[in-house]
Amino acid sequence: MKSYTEYLSFNTDEKIEFVRITGEVEGAVEKSGVKEGLVLVNPMHITAAVIVNDNEGGLIQDYIENLQRLVPYNAEYKHNVGEGNAAAHIWRQLMAHQVVLPITDGKLDFGPWEQVFYCEFDGGRKKRVLIKVIGE
């Protein structure tokens, strides 16, 4: 069994931002040499998520609007001691923490519209994403 680890590092410009990282994940899979296996993509921050969905601006806006409706960002929370980011922590849990993706014939085994996104809910800092590839 092979394993390969890569870390993505970047800064987000906005407090709430969806960053498409499909190409970076594909690149890590290629570098790993794994032909059949799995790749874990994990945001290394407690106010961020990684999801797989369509790369369509209206859908991303729908996510944000519905998260705001469910858990308003500027509501009063017990966690908000200094940072004011309790909603970001909750949004992360609602969106999913991380994803595990299949690798077949050395490539991500996706449906036609699937893309990988890093979802930032408390931006303005340096961010890291772990990509861990395992398989044969």
- The pLDDT tens digits for 46-100 are 999 999 999 998 999 999 999 999 999 988 888 866 778 899 999 999 998 899 9
H/E element, 8? strand 2-11
- Phi, psi (rounded to 5 degrees) for 91: -55, -40
> For residue 13, is pLDDT > 70?
yes
- The CATH number, out of the four listed (3.30.2350.10, 2.60.120.460, 1.10.510.10, 3.20.20.70), of the domain defined by the range 2-135: 2.60.120.460
Rounded to an integer, the average pLDDT of 31-59 is 96
pLDDT attached to residue 98: 96
Return the percentage of the chain with pLDDT > 90, whole number: 85
Average predicted confidence (pLDDT) for the chain: 94
Rounded to an integer, the average pLDDT of 9-13 is 91
Q: Is 24 helix (H, G, I), strand (E, B) or coil?
A: helix
Rounded to an integer, the average pLDDT of 8-37 is 96
pLDDT attached to residue 76: 86
H/E element, 129? strand 126-135
Chain Cα centroid distance, residue 36 = 22
Q: Identify whether the C-beta of residue 31 lies closer than 8 Å to the C-beta of residue 6.
A: yes
The residue ranking higher by pLDDT, 125 or 16, is 16
pLDDT attached to residue 80: 62
